[in-house]
Protein backbone atom coordinates (compact mmCIF):
# COMPACT_ATOMS: atom_id res chain seq x y z
CA UNK A 1 0.00 0.00 0.00
CA UNK A 2 1.49 3.35 -1.05
CA UNK A 3 0.14 6.76 -0.12
CA UNK A 4 0.84 10.33 -1.22
CA UNK A 5 3.05 12.05 -0.24
CA UNK A 6 4.59 8.98 1.39
CA UNK A 7 3.49 8.69 4.99
CA UNK A 8 1.36 11.81 4.84
CA UNK A 9 -1.95 11.51 6.62
CA UNK A 10 -4.60 14.02 7.65
CA UNK A 11 -4.02 17.02 9.91
CA UNK A 12 -5.95 16.88 13.17
CA UNK A 13 -8.30 19.65 11.99
CA UNK A 14 -9.03 18.29 8.53
CA UNK A 15 -12.77 18.57 7.86
CA UNK A 16 -12.79 15.15 6.22
CA UNK A 17 -11.68 13.59 9.50
CA UNK A 18 -13.86 15.91 11.61
CA UNK A 19 -17.14 15.70 9.70
CA UNK A 20 -16.66 13.35 6.76
CA UNK A 21 -16.67 16.58 4.73
CA UNK A 22 -15.35 15.17 1.49
CA UNK A 23 -15.52 12.54 -1.23
CA UNK A 24 -13.66 9.48 -2.43
CA UNK A 25 -13.26 7.25 -5.46
CA UNK A 26 -11.84 3.75 -5.72
CA UNK A 27 -10.49 3.13 -9.20
CA UNK A 28 -9.43 -0.15 -10.77
CA UNK A 29 -6.01 0.27 -12.39
CA UNK A 30 -4.32 -2.15 -14.78
CA UNK A 31 -0.65 -1.55 -15.57
CA UNK A 32 -1.03 2.08 -14.56
CA UNK A 33 -4.15 2.68 -16.68
CA UNK A 34 -7.44 3.43 -14.88
CA UNK A 35 -10.73 1.79 -15.89
CA UNK A 36 -13.98 3.80 -16.12
CA UNK A 37 -11.90 6.91 -15.49
CA UNK A 38 -14.43 9.23 -17.13
CA UNK A 39 -17.20 7.85 -14.92
CA UNK A 40 -15.06 8.31 -11.80
CA UNK A 41 -14.25 11.90 -12.78
CA UNK A 42 -17.91 12.61 -13.53
CA UNK A 43 -19.07 11.34 -10.12
CA UNK A 44 -16.33 13.27 -8.33
CA UNK A 45 -17.37 16.39 -10.24
CA UNK A 46 -21.02 15.89 -9.21
CA UNK A 47 -19.92 15.49 -5.59
CA UNK A 48 -17.76 18.62 -5.73
CA UNK A 49 -20.70 20.54 -7.14
CA UNK A 50 -23.04 19.41 -4.35
CA UNK A 51 -20.49 20.04 -1.58
CA UNK A 52 -19.30 23.33 -3.05
CA UNK A 53 -15.73 22.17 -3.59
CA UNK A 54 -13.51 23.07 -6.53
CA UNK A 55 -12.77 19.97 -8.64
CA UNK A 56 -9.01 19.32 -8.73
CA UNK A 57 -7.40 19.43 -12.15
CA UNK A 58 -7.39 16.06 -13.88
CA UNK A 59 -3.59 15.90 -13.98
CA UNK A 60 -3.53 16.08 -10.18
CA UNK A 61 -6.09 13.29 -9.86
CA UNK A 62 -4.19 11.17 -12.37
CA UNK A 63 -0.70 11.82 -10.95
CA UNK A 64 -0.74 8.78 -8.58
CA UNK A 65 -1.22 6.47 -11.58
CA UNK A 66 2.48 6.97 -12.33
CA UNK A 67 3.23 5.12 -9.08
CA UNK A 68 0.97 2.16 -9.85
CA UNK A 69 2.52 -1.31 -9.86
CA UNK A 70 2.25 -3.48 -12.94
CA UNK A 71 -0.81 -5.70 -13.02
CA UNK A 72 -3.99 -4.91 -11.13
CA UNK A 73 -4.23 -2.29 -8.40
CA UNK A 74 -6.83 -0.13 -6.72
CA UNK A 75 -6.29 3.61 -6.51
CA UNK A 76 -8.23 5.29 -3.72
CA UNK A 77 -8.55 9.05 -4.17
CA UNK A 78 -9.77 11.06 -1.18
CA UNK A 79 -10.72 14.72 -1.45
CA UNK A 80 -11.72 16.73 1.63
CA UNK A 81 -12.68 20.35 2.20
CA UNK A 82 -9.33 20.74 3.99
CA UNK A 83 -9.00 22.73 7.20
CA UNK A 84 -10.70 25.88 8.38
CA UNK A 85 -14.18 27.25 8.82
CA UNK A 86 -15.96 27.58 12.15
CA UNK A 87 -17.53 24.36 13.29
CA UNK A 88 -19.85 23.07 10.58
CA UNK A 89 -19.53 26.38 8.72
CA UNK A 90 -17.17 25.86 5.81
CA UNK A 91 -14.42 28.33 5.00
CA UNK A 92 -15.50 30.88 2.39
CA UNK A 93 -12.63 29.79 0.15
CA UNK A 94 -11.90 26.13 0.82
CA UNK A 95 -8.42 24.74 0.22
CA UNK A 96 -9.32 21.10 -0.49
CA UNK A 97 -6.92 18.36 0.46
CA UNK A 98 -6.26 15.46 -1.93
CA UNK A 99 -4.74 12.22 -0.70
CA UNK A 100 -4.39 8.82 -2.32
CA UNK A 101 -3.56 5.20 -1.63
CA UNK A 102 -2.54 2.53 -4.11
CA UNK A 103 -2.75 -1.16 -3.33
CA UNK A 104 -2.28 -4.26 -5.50
CA UNK A 105 -5.57 -6.02 -6.13
CA UNK A 106 -6.71 -9.54 -6.93
CA UNK A 107 -10.36 -10.06 -7.85
CA UNK A 108 -12.30 -12.97 -6.39
CA UNK A 109 -12.52 -15.30 -9.40
CA UNK A 110 -14.53 -17.91 -7.48
CA UNK A 111 -17.29 -15.36 -6.90
CA UNK A 112 -17.35 -14.47 -10.61
CA UNK A 113 -17.56 -18.14 -11.45
CA UNK A 114 -19.77 -19.70 -8.80
CA UNK A 115 -21.84 -16.71 -7.76
CA UNK A 116 -22.48 -15.53 -4.22
CA UNK A 117 -24.86 -15.82 -1.31
CA UNK A 118 -26.17 -12.50 0.02
CA UNK A 119 -28.56 -11.48 2.80
CA UNK A 120 -30.89 -8.66 3.64
CA UNK A 121 -29.58 -6.16 6.19
CA UNK A 122 -31.84 -5.01 9.02
CA UNK A 123 -30.46 -1.46 8.85
CA UNK A 124 -32.45 0.91 6.64
CA UNK A 125 -30.67 3.70 4.80
CA UNK A 126 -31.79 7.22 5.73
CA UNK A 127 -33.30 9.19 2.86
CA UNK A 128 -31.17 12.18 1.91
CA UNK A 129 -31.70 13.30 -1.70
CA UNK A 130 -29.04 16.01 -1.37
CA UNK A 131 -26.32 13.38 -0.95
CA UNK A 132 -27.87 10.52 -2.91
CA UNK A 133 -25.62 8.84 -5.44
CA UNK A 134 -22.43 10.49 -4.19
CA UNK A 135 -19.42 8.62 -2.85
CA UNK A 136 -18.98 10.92 0.14
CA UNK A 137 -17.09 10.24 3.34
CA UNK A 138 -20.17 9.76 5.58
CA UNK A 139 -20.32 5.98 5.48
CA UNK A 140 -21.34 4.91 8.97
CA UNK A 141 -24.52 3.32 7.62
CA UNK A 142 -22.42 1.08 5.37
CA UNK A 143 -20.11 0.20 8.28
CA UNK A 144 -23.05 -0.68 10.56
CA UNK A 145 -24.75 -2.70 7.83
CA UNK A 146 -21.54 -4.62 7.09
CA UNK A 147 -21.29 -5.44 10.80
CA UNK A 148 -24.58 -7.34 10.68
CA UNK A 149 -22.94 -10.60 9.60
CA UNK A 150 -19.62 -12.28 10.14
CA UNK A 151 -20.08 -15.42 8.03
CA UNK A 152 -17.56 -15.40 5.16
CA UNK A 153 -19.98 -17.52 3.15
CA UNK A 154 -22.18 -14.41 2.86
CA UNK A 155 -20.62 -12.07 0.32
CA UNK A 156 -22.82 -9.02 0.67
CA UNK A 157 -25.86 -7.51 2.37
CA UNK A 158 -28.79 -5.84 0.62
CA UNK A 159 -29.99 -2.48 1.90
CA UNK A 160 -33.43 -0.89 1.76
CA UNK A 161 -34.18 2.75 2.54
CA UNK A 162 -36.32 3.84 5.48
CA UNK A 163 -39.42 3.53 3.27
CA UNK A 164 -38.56 -0.10 2.58
CA UNK A 165 -37.41 0.35 -1.03
CA UNK A 166 -34.48 -1.66 -2.33
CA UNK A 167 -31.34 0.45 -2.87
CA UNK A 168 -28.01 -1.39 -3.10
CA UNK A 169 -25.61 -3.71 -1.29
CA UNK A 170 -23.18 -2.37 1.32
CA UNK A 171 -20.39 -1.81 -1.23
CA UNK A 172 -21.93 -2.85 -4.57
CA UNK A 173 -24.85 -2.00 -6.79
CA UNK A 174 -27.66 -4.43 -7.47
CA UNK A 175 -28.98 -5.51 -10.86
CA UNK A 176 -31.54 -8.08 -11.98
CA UNK A 177 -33.41 -9.30 -15.03
CA UNK A 178 -37.19 -9.45 -14.77
CA UNK A 179 -39.55 -10.28 -17.62
CA UNK A 180 -36.54 -10.07 -19.88
CA UNK A 181 -35.61 -6.48 -18.87
CA UNK A 182 -32.53 -5.39 -16.93
CA UNK A 183 -33.30 -3.28 -13.86
CA UNK A 184 -31.47 -1.58 -10.99
CA UNK A 185 -32.80 0.53 -8.09
CA UNK A 186 -33.05 4.28 -8.55
CA UNK A 187 -30.38 6.20 -6.68
CA UNK A 188 -32.09 9.55 -6.11
CA UNK A 189 -32.86 9.29 -2.38
CA UNK A 190 -29.83 7.47 -0.97
CA UNK A 191 -27.12 5.02 -1.96
CA UNK A 192 -23.98 5.27 -4.08
CA UNK A 193 -24.35 5.42 -7.85
CA UNK A 194 -21.46 3.17 -8.85
CA UNK A 195 -19.39 3.95 -11.91
CA UNK A 196 -19.88 0.44 -13.31
CA UNK A 197 -23.63 0.95 -12.80
CA UNK A 198 -23.48 4.23 -14.73
CA UNK A 199 -21.61 2.60 -17.58
CA UNK A 200 -23.97 -0.40 -17.73
CA UNK A 201 -27.14 1.72 -17.62
CA UNK A 202 -25.89 3.59 -20.65
CA UNK A 203 -24.72 0.57 -22.62
CA UNK A 204 -27.40 -2.02 -21.78
CA UNK A 205 -30.52 0.09 -21.30
CA UNK A 206 -30.82 -0.91 -17.66
CA UNK A 207 -34.03 0.59 -16.25
CA UNK A 208 -33.80 2.49 -12.96
CA UNK A 209 -36.80 1.49 -10.87
CA UNK A 210 -38.50 2.24 -7.59
CA UNK A 211 -39.06 -1.13 -6.04
CA UNK A 212 -39.65 -3.23 -2.92
CA UNK A 213 -37.40 -6.22 -2.19
CA UNK A 214 -40.24 -8.66 -2.89
CA UNK A 215 -39.78 -7.82 -6.56
CA UNK A 216 -36.68 -10.03 -6.54
CA UNK A 217 -39.01 -13.04 -6.32
CA UNK A 218 -39.85 -12.41 -9.96
CA UNK A 219 -36.23 -11.93 -11.02
CA UNK A 220 -34.80 -14.47 -13.46
CA UNK A 221 -31.23 -13.49 -12.60
CA UNK A 222 -29.66 -11.20 -9.99
CA UNK A 223 -26.16 -9.67 -9.84
CA UNK A 224 -24.03 -7.46 -7.66
CA UNK A 225 -21.32 -5.38 -9.21
CA UNK A 226 -18.87 -2.57 -8.80
CA UNK A 227 -15.97 -1.12 -10.74
CA UNK A 228 -13.32 -2.94 -8.70
CA UNK A 229 -14.76 -6.41 -8.06
CA UNK A 230 -16.59 -6.81 -11.34
CA UNK A 231 -19.91 -8.68 -11.35
CA UNK A 232 -20.98 -11.49 -9.02
CA UNK A 233 -24.09 -13.52 -9.90
CA UNK A 234 -26.33 -13.95 -6.86
CA UNK A 235 -27.31 -17.57 -6.31
CA UNK A 236 -28.95 -17.29 -2.91
CA UNK A 237 -30.64 -14.56 -0.88
CA UNK A 238 -31.16 -14.94 2.87
CA UNK A 239 -33.31 -12.81 5.14
CA UNK A 240 -31.81 -10.54 7.83
CA UNK A 241 -31.78 -13.49 10.25
CA UNK A 242 -29.78 -15.65 7.82
CA UNK A 243 -32.68 -17.92 6.73
CA UNK A 244 -32.79 -18.76 2.99
CA UNK A 245 -35.37 -16.77 1.02
CA UNK A 246 -34.62 -17.18 -2.67
CA UNK A 247 -32.26 -19.11 -4.94
CA UNK A 248 -31.16 -18.67 -8.54
CA UNK A 249 -29.45 -21.16 -10.82
CA UNK A 250 -26.52 -19.85 -12.88
CA UNK A 251 -27.53 -19.43 -16.51
CA UNK A 252 -26.30 -18.11 -19.82
CA UNK A 253 -28.25 -14.93 -19.01
CA UNK A 254 -26.02 -14.43 -15.96
CA UNK A 255 -22.94 -14.81 -18.09
CA UNK A 256 -24.06 -12.40 -20.81
CA UNK A 257 -24.49 -9.53 -18.34
CA UNK A 258 -21.23 -10.36 -16.60
CA UNK A 259 -19.45 -10.42 -19.94
CA UNK A 260 -20.59 -6.87 -20.75
CA UNK A 261 -19.45 -5.59 -17.36
CA UNK A 262 -16.15 -7.42 -17.49
CA UNK A 263 -15.40 -6.04 -20.92
CA UNK A 264 -15.64 -2.54 -19.41
CA UNK A 265 -13.20 -3.49 -16.65
CA UNK A 266 -10.84 -5.55 -18.77
CA UNK A 267 -11.70 -8.66 -16.79
CA UNK A 268 -11.97 -12.10 -18.40
CA UNK A 269 -15.32 -13.62 -19.19
CA UNK A 270 -16.28 -16.34 -16.71
CA UNK A 271 -16.78 -19.77 -18.24
CA UNK A 272 -20.31 -20.65 -19.18
CA UNK A 273 -20.04 -23.83 -17.02
CA UNK B 1 -5.09 25.42 19.61
CA UNK B 2 -3.20 22.45 21.06
CA UNK B 3 -3.57 18.86 19.96
CA UNK B 4 -2.39 15.51 21.28
CA UNK B 5 0.29 14.33 20.89
CA UNK B 6 1.47 17.69 19.59
CA UNK B 7 1.20 17.84 15.82
CA UNK B 8 -0.17 14.34 15.54
CA UNK B 9 -2.96 13.98 13.03
CA UNK B 10 -4.71 10.99 11.47
CA UNK B 11 -3.01 8.23 9.49
CA UNK B 12 -4.12 8.04 5.88
CA UNK B 13 -6.00 4.81 6.54
CA UNK B 14 -7.80 5.88 9.72
CA UNK B 15 -11.44 4.78 9.50
CA UNK B 16 -12.58 8.07 11.00
CA UNK B 17 -11.10 9.91 8.03
CA UNK B 18 -12.17 7.23 5.54
CA UNK B 19 -15.79 6.68 6.63
CA UNK B 20 -16.51 9.00 9.56
CA UNK B 21 -16.30 5.79 11.58
CA UNK B 22 -16.10 7.37 15.01
CA UNK B 23 -17.46 9.83 17.56
CA UNK B 24 -16.64 13.19 19.08
CA UNK B 25 -17.44 15.37 22.07
CA UNK B 26 -16.89 19.10 22.56
CA UNK B 27 -16.57 19.89 26.24
CA UNK B 28 -16.64 23.28 27.93
CA UNK B 29 -13.67 23.56 30.29
CA UNK B 30 -13.14 26.22 32.94
CA UNK B 31 -9.71 26.41 34.57
CA UNK B 32 -9.06 22.81 33.59
CA UNK B 33 -12.37 21.50 34.95
CA UNK B 34 -14.93 20.10 32.47
CA UNK B 35 -18.65 20.97 32.66
CA UNK B 36 -21.32 18.29 32.17
CA UNK B 37 -18.54 15.71 32.11
CA UNK B 38 -20.83 12.86 33.17
CA UNK B 39 -23.23 13.69 30.35
CA UNK B 40 -20.38 13.77 27.82
CA UNK B 41 -19.07 10.41 29.06
CA UNK B 42 -22.56 8.93 28.94
CA UNK B 43 -23.14 10.01 25.34
CA UNK B 44 -19.71 8.75 24.29
CA UNK B 45 -20.47 5.43 25.99
CA UNK B 46 -23.79 5.17 24.12
CA UNK B 47 -21.99 5.89 20.86
CA UNK B 48 -19.32 3.30 21.56
CA UNK B 49 -22.02 0.74 22.31
CA UNK B 50 -23.82 1.44 19.02
CA UNK B 51 -20.65 1.44 16.92
CA UNK B 52 -19.15 -1.56 18.71
CA UNK B 53 -16.12 0.32 20.03
CA UNK B 54 -14.50 -0.17 23.44
CA UNK B 55 -14.96 2.97 25.57
CA UNK B 56 -11.56 4.40 26.52
CA UNK B 57 -10.80 4.55 30.22
CA UNK B 58 -11.93 7.81 31.81
CA UNK B 59 -8.38 8.77 32.78
CA UNK B 60 -7.40 8.70 29.10
CA UNK B 61 -10.35 10.89 28.13
CA UNK B 62 -9.59 13.31 30.96
CA UNK B 63 -5.82 13.47 30.40
CA UNK B 64 -5.94 16.48 28.02
CA UNK B 65 -7.59 18.55 30.76
CA UNK B 66 -4.15 18.85 32.38
CA UNK B 67 -3.09 20.90 29.34
CA UNK B 68 -6.05 23.28 29.48
CA UNK B 69 -5.34 27.00 29.76
CA UNK B 70 -6.78 28.99 32.64
CA UNK B 71 -10.17 30.50 31.95
CA UNK B 72 -12.58 29.09 29.40
CA UNK B 73 -11.62 26.54 26.77
CA UNK B 74 -13.23 23.92 24.58
CA UNK B 75 -11.85 20.39 24.60
CA UNK B 76 -12.69 18.42 21.48
CA UNK B 77 -12.28 14.67 21.92
CA UNK B 78 -12.31 12.52 18.80
CA UNK B 79 -12.49 8.74 18.92
CA UNK B 80 -12.29 6.63 15.76
CA UNK B 81 -12.27 2.90 15.07
CA UNK B 82 -8.60 3.29 14.11
CA UNK B 83 -7.13 1.51 11.11
CA UNK B 84 -7.78 -1.90 9.66
CA UNK B 85 -10.68 -3.96 8.47
CA UNK B 86 -11.52 -4.60 4.82
CA UNK B 87 -13.44 -1.76 3.27
CA UNK B 88 -16.56 -1.09 5.33
CA UNK B 89 -15.97 -4.29 7.28
CA UNK B 90 -14.51 -3.34 10.65
CA UNK B 91 -11.54 -5.19 12.14
CA UNK B 92 -12.63 -7.98 14.49
CA UNK B 93 -10.67 -6.36 17.30
CA UNK B 94 -10.62 -2.61 16.73
CA UNK B 95 -7.74 -0.52 18.08
CA UNK B 96 -9.56 2.81 18.47
CA UNK B 97 -7.66 6.05 18.04
CA UNK B 98 -8.20 8.95 20.44
CA UNK B 99 -7.19 12.49 19.51
CA UNK B 100 -7.94 15.84 21.07
CA UNK B 101 -7.79 19.56 20.51
CA UNK B 102 -7.96 22.33 23.11
CA UNK B 103 -8.78 25.91 22.20
CA UNK B 104 -9.51 28.97 24.34
CA UNK B 105 -13.17 29.96 24.14
CA UNK B 106 -15.20 33.14 24.57
CA UNK B 107 -18.98 32.82 24.61
CA UNK B 108 -21.12 35.28 22.66
CA UNK B 109 -22.52 37.45 25.48
CA UNK B 110 -24.54 39.60 23.09
CA UNK B 111 -26.47 36.51 21.95
CA UNK B 112 -27.19 35.54 25.55
CA UNK B 113 -28.39 39.06 26.24
CA UNK B 114 -30.21 40.16 23.10
CA UNK B 115 -31.28 36.82 21.68
CA UNK B 116 -30.83 35.64 18.12
CA UNK B 117 -32.45 35.49 14.73
CA UNK B 118 -32.70 31.99 13.22
CA UNK B 119 -34.08 30.55 10.01
CA UNK B 120 -35.47 27.32 8.71
CA UNK B 121 -33.12 25.23 6.59
CA UNK B 122 -34.35 23.69 3.35
CA UNK B 123 -32.31 20.52 3.92
CA UNK B 124 -34.20 17.72 5.67
CA UNK B 125 -32.33 15.33 7.96
CA UNK B 126 -32.42 11.70 6.88
CA UNK B 127 -34.10 9.36 9.37
CA UNK B 128 -31.64 6.89 10.87
CA UNK B 129 -32.75 5.59 14.28
CA UNK B 130 -29.56 3.52 14.64
CA UNK B 131 -27.45 6.69 14.78
CA UNK B 132 -30.01 9.10 16.28
CA UNK B 133 -28.80 11.16 19.22
CA UNK B 134 -25.14 10.26 18.76
CA UNK B 135 -22.37 12.77 18.11
CA UNK B 136 -20.77 10.69 15.39
CA UNK B 137 -18.39 11.84 12.69
CA UNK B 138 -20.90 11.72 9.80
CA UNK B 139 -21.87 15.37 9.76
CA UNK B 140 -22.26 16.27 6.10
CA UNK B 141 -25.92 17.12 6.62
CA UNK B 142 -24.93 19.70 9.22
CA UNK B 143 -22.27 21.13 6.92
CA UNK B 144 -24.72 21.41 4.00
CA UNK B 145 -27.41 22.94 6.21
CA UNK B 146 -24.95 25.50 7.62
CA UNK B 147 -24.02 26.45 4.06
CA UNK B 148 -27.59 27.58 3.34
CA UNK B 149 -26.98 31.08 4.70
CA UNK B 150 -24.08 33.48 4.89
CA UNK B 151 -25.68 36.37 6.78
CA UNK B 152 -23.95 36.80 10.15
CA UNK B 153 -27.19 38.30 11.50
CA UNK B 154 -28.65 34.79 11.34
CA UNK B 155 -27.24 32.78 14.24
CA UNK B 156 -28.59 29.33 13.47
CA UNK B 157 -30.75 27.26 11.15
CA UNK B 158 -33.58 24.94 12.21
CA UNK B 159 -33.71 21.45 10.77
CA UNK B 160 -36.65 19.14 10.16
CA UNK B 161 -36.40 15.45 9.32
CA UNK B 162 -37.51 13.99 6.00
CA UNK B 163 -41.03 13.55 7.41
CA UNK B 164 -41.16 17.29 8.19
CA UNK B 165 -40.82 17.01 11.98
CA UNK B 166 -38.77 19.57 13.86
CA UNK B 167 -35.45 18.17 15.17
CA UNK B 168 -32.74 20.68 16.11
CA UNK B 169 -30.55 23.51 14.85
CA UNK B 170 -27.35 22.79 12.92
CA UNK B 171 -25.17 22.79 16.05
CA UNK B 172 -27.63 23.38 18.91
CA UNK B 173 -30.72 21.86 20.43
CA UNK B 174 -34.07 23.59 20.37
CA UNK B 175 -36.35 24.28 23.35
CA UNK B 176 -39.59 26.20 23.76
CA UNK B 177 -42.32 26.91 26.27
CA UNK B 178 -45.90 26.26 25.13
CA UNK B 179 -48.98 26.47 27.34
CA UNK B 180 -46.57 26.85 30.23
CA UNK B 181 -44.70 23.59 29.57
CA UNK B 182 -41.10 23.24 28.42
CA UNK B 183 -40.66 21.10 25.32
CA UNK B 184 -37.90 19.90 22.99
CA UNK B 185 -38.02 17.63 19.91
CA UNK B 186 -37.55 13.90 20.39
CA UNK B 187 -34.17 12.66 19.25
CA UNK B 188 -34.95 9.04 18.38
CA UNK B 189 -34.88 9.24 14.58
CA UNK B 190 -32.06 11.69 13.85
CA UNK B 191 -30.24 14.66 15.37
CA UNK B 192 -27.71 15.02 18.16
CA UNK B 193 -28.91 14.71 21.76
CA UNK B 194 -26.88 17.49 23.35
CA UNK B 195 -25.45 17.10 26.82
CA UNK B 196 -27.00 20.38 27.99
CA UNK B 197 -30.33 19.09 26.63
CA UNK B 198 -29.93 15.86 28.63
CA UNK B 199 -29.16 17.80 31.81
CA UNK B 200 -32.08 20.20 31.31
CA UNK B 201 -34.60 17.45 30.53
CA UNK B 202 -33.69 15.83 33.81
CA UNK B 203 -33.71 18.97 35.94
CA UNK B 204 -36.62 20.95 34.42
CA UNK B 205 -39.01 18.22 33.27
CA UNK B 206 -38.67 19.21 29.64
CA UNK B 207 -41.06 17.10 27.55
CA UNK B 208 -39.67 15.38 24.47
CA UNK B 209 -42.25 15.76 21.72
CA UNK B 210 -42.94 14.74 18.15
CA UNK B 211 -43.85 17.95 16.43
CA UNK B 212 -44.14 19.95 13.21
CA UNK B 213 -42.47 23.37 12.94
CA UNK B 214 -45.86 25.13 12.90
CA UNK B 215 -46.10 24.30 16.60
CA UNK B 216 -43.63 27.13 17.24
CA UNK B 217 -46.43 29.58 16.41
CA UNK B 218 -47.95 28.69 19.77
CA UNK B 219 -44.65 28.97 21.66
CA UNK B 220 -44.40 31.70 24.29
CA UNK B 221 -40.60 31.54 24.30
CA UNK B 222 -38.02 29.71 22.19
CA UNK B 223 -34.35 28.98 22.89
CA UNK B 224 -31.34 27.34 21.32
CA UNK B 225 -28.68 25.85 23.52
CA UNK B 226 -25.65 23.65 23.75
CA UNK B 227 -23.04 22.80 26.35
CA UNK B 228 -20.44 25.21 24.94
CA UNK B 229 -22.40 28.31 23.89
CA UNK B 230 -25.00 28.21 26.65
CA UNK B 231 -28.55 29.33 25.83
CA UNK B 232 -29.63 31.89 23.25
CA UNK B 233 -33.22 33.17 23.33
CA UNK B 234 -34.74 33.17 19.84
CA UNK B 235 -36.33 36.52 19.00
CA UNK B 236 -37.03 35.98 15.31
CA UNK B 237 -37.57 33.00 13.02
CA UNK B 238 -37.28 33.36 9.23
CA UNK B 239 -38.32 30.87 6.59
CA UNK B 240 -35.79 29.06 4.38
CA UNK B 241 -35.84 32.00 1.95
CA UNK B 242 -34.98 34.48 4.73
CA UNK B 243 -38.46 36.02 5.07
CA UNK B 244 -39.61 36.72 8.65
CA UNK B 245 -42.10 34.19 10.01
CA UNK B 246 -42.32 34.66 13.77
CA UNK B 247 -41.03 37.00 16.47
CA UNK B 248 -40.74 36.72 20.24
CA UNK B 249 -40.17 39.45 22.80
CA UNK B 250 -37.59 38.75 25.51
CA UNK B 251 -39.29 38.03 28.81
CA UNK B 252 -38.60 36.92 32.36
CA UNK B 253 -39.58 33.43 31.19
CA UNK B 254 -36.66 33.49 28.75
CA UNK B 255 -34.30 34.47 31.53
CA UNK B 256 -35.47 31.80 33.97
CA UNK B 257 -34.69 28.97 31.55
CA UNK B 258 -31.37 30.55 30.59
CA UNK B 259 -30.47 30.89 34.25
CA UNK B 260 -30.96 27.17 34.86
CA UNK B 261 -28.84 26.24 31.88
CA UNK B 262 -26.13 28.73 32.70
CA UNK B 263 -25.91 27.46 36.25
CA UNK B 264 -25.03 24.03 34.81
CA UNK B 265 -22.29 25.57 32.68
CA UNK B 266 -20.98 28.04 35.24
CA UNK B 267 -22.01 30.94 33.01
CA UNK B 268 -23.37 34.19 34.42
CA UNK B 269 -27.09 34.90 34.41
CA UNK B 270 -27.98 37.41 31.69
CA UNK B 271 -29.54 40.63 32.99
CA UNK B 272 -33.30 40.65 33.09
CA UNK B 273 -33.30 43.89 30.99
- A138 vs A5: which has the higher pLDDT: A138
Phi, psi for A230 (deg, rounded to 5): 80, -150
Q: What is the reported pLDDT for B1?
A: 54
Verify whether the Cβ–Cβ distance A89 to B18 is below 8 Å.
no
Confirm whether A93 is a catalytic residue.
no
- Domain assignment present for residue B272? The answer is no
Q: Which residues pair with B80 in a beta bridge?
A: B22, B97
Pairwise CA distance, residues B251 & B253, whole Å: 5
B141 vs A contacts (CB less than 8 Å): 128, 130-131
Give the pLDDT confidence score for residue A270 in this predicted structure: 73
> Last residue of some domain: B81, B104, B127?
B104
Q: Looking at the complex, does the CB of residue B102 fall below 8 Å from at least one CB of chain A? A: no
pLDDT of B5 above 50: no
Give me the pLDDT at residue A182, please.
98
pLDDT of residue B23: 98
CA atoms within 13 A on the CB side of A2: 13
User: How far is Cα A19 from Cα A89, in angstroms, rounded to an integer?
Assistant: 11
Which of A24, A162, A171 is opposite residue B88, by nearest beta carbon? A171
Parent domain of A54: 2-104
Q: Are A94 and A197 members of one domain?
A: no
Q: What is the tens place of the pLDDT at every residue in A177-206?
A: 999 999 999 999 999 999 999 999 999 999
Residue pLDDT, tens place only, B109-126: 999 999 999 999 999 999
Q: What CATH number did the domain enclosing B115 receive?
A: 3.20.10.10
- Alpha-carbon gap, residue A166 to B226, rounded angstroms: 37
CATH number for the domain including A19? Answer: 3.30.470.10
> Do residues A243 and A164 share a domain?
yes
Radius of gyration of chain A (CA): 19
pLDDT, position B8: 84
Nearest to A123 among B15, B124, B130 (CB): B130
Supply the pLDDT for residue B7: 55
Distance CA A145, CA A156 (A): 10
Residues in chain B: 273
Contacts of B123 in chain A (CB under 8 A): 130
- Domain assignment of residue A271, yes or no: no
B100 assigned to some structural domain: yes
Mind listing the pLDDT tens digit for each residue in B24-52?
999 999 999 999 999 999 999 999 999 99
**In this model, does residue A76 exceed pLDDT 60?**
yes
CA B198 to chain A, closest CA, distance in angstroms equals: 21
**B40, part of any domain:** yes
Q: Which of A217-221, A230-234, B192-196, B267-271 has the lowest mean pLDDT?
A: B267-271
Which residues have CB under 8 Å from B16's CB, separation 6+? A17, B10, B22, B78, B80, B81, B97, B137
Residues 6+ away with beta carbon under 8 Å from A189 = A127, A128, A129, A132, A161, A165, A167
A89 and B146 within 8 Å at the Cβ level: the answer is yes
With 80 as the cut, is the pLDDT of residue B131 above it? yes
Q: Is the pLDDT of residue B6 over 50?
A: no
Please give the backbone phi and psi of residue B120, each rounded to the nearest 5 degrees, phi first: -75, 145
Q: Please report whether residue B270 resides in a domain.
A: no
pLDDT beyond 90 at A73:
yes
Q: Is the same domain home to A235 and A201?
A: yes
Whether A123 and A247 share a structural domain: yes
Asked if the Cβ–Cβ distance from B190 to A11 is below 8 Å, we say: no
Q: List the one residue out of B70, B104, B71, B108 whose CA is nearest residue B229.
A: B108
Same domain flag for A86 and A119: no
Domains contained in chain A, number: 2
Q: Which residues 167-226 of B have a C-beta within 8 angstroms of A?
A: 170-171, 190
Residue of B nearest to A132 (CA): B126
Mean pLDDT of all residues in chain A?
A: 95
Q: What is the pLDDT of residue A253?
A: 87
Domain final residue pick, A104, A125, A153: A104
Same domain (yes/no): A69, A158: no
Per-residue pLDDT tens digits for A14-59: 999 999 999 999 999 999 999 999 999 999 999 999 999 999 999 9
* Final residue in a domain of this structure, among B104, B139, B161: B104
Residues 11-30 of chain B with CB under 8 A from chain A are 11-21, 24
Active-site position among A25, A135, A156, A198: A135
Tell me what pLDDT residue B269 has: 83
Q: Are residues A151 and A250 in the same domain?
A: yes
Report yes or no on A273 lying in a domain.
Answer: no
Percent of chain B with pLDDT over 90: 94
What is the mean predicted confidence (pLDDT) over A246-259?
94
State whether A144 and A261 are in the same domain: yes
How far the first Cα of chain A sits from its last, in Å, is 35
Residue at A272 is within a domain? no
**In degrees, to the nearest 5, what angle opens at C-alpha B26 toward C-alphas B21 and B30?**
155
Looking at the fold, whether B247 and B153 belong to one and the same domain comes out as yes
| pLDDT band of A6, cuts 50, 70, 90 | very low
A168 is a catalytic site residue: yes
> Is the domain of B6 the same as that of B92?
yes
The reply to whether B119 falls in a domain is yes
State whether B167 and B49 are in the same domain.
no
**CB of A127 less than 8 A from some CB of B:** yes
> d(Cα A143, Cα A118) in Å, to the nearest integer?
16
**Alpha-carbon gap: A252 to the closest alpha carbon of chain B (Å):** 31
DSSP-assigned beta bridge partners for residue A23: A79, A136
pLDDT at B272: 57
Question: What CA dihedral angle connects A79, A81, A84 and A85, to 10 degrees?
Answer: -160
Mean pLDDT of chain B: 95
A141 in reach of chain B (CB within 8 A)? yes
User: How far does Cα A15 stand from its chain's mean position?
Assistant: 23
Residue from A20, A94, A133 to probe the interface with B (highest B Cβ count within 10 Å): A20
pLDDT in tens, B215-237: 999 999 999 999 999 999 999 99
Say whether both A138 and A197 belong to one domain. yes
Binary contact (B88, A142; C-beta < 8 A): yes
pLDDT in tens, A89-106: 999 999 999 999 999 999
Give the count of Cβ contacts less than 8 A between chain A and B. 168
Tell me if B138 and A142 make a contact (CB, 8 A cut-off).
no
Residues of B in contact with A8 (CB under 8 A): 12
- In this complex, do B12 and A3 lie within 8 Å of one another by their Cβ atoms? yes
DSSP-assigned letter for residue A172: S
Amino acid sequence: MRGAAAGEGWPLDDRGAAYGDGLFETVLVRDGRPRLWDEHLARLARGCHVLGLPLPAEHRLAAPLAEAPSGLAVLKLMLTRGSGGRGYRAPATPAPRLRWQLAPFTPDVARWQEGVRVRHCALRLGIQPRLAGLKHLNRLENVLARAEWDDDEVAEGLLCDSDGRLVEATAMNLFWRRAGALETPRMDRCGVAGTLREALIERLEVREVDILPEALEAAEAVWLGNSVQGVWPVTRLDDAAGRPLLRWRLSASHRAFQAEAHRLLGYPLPDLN
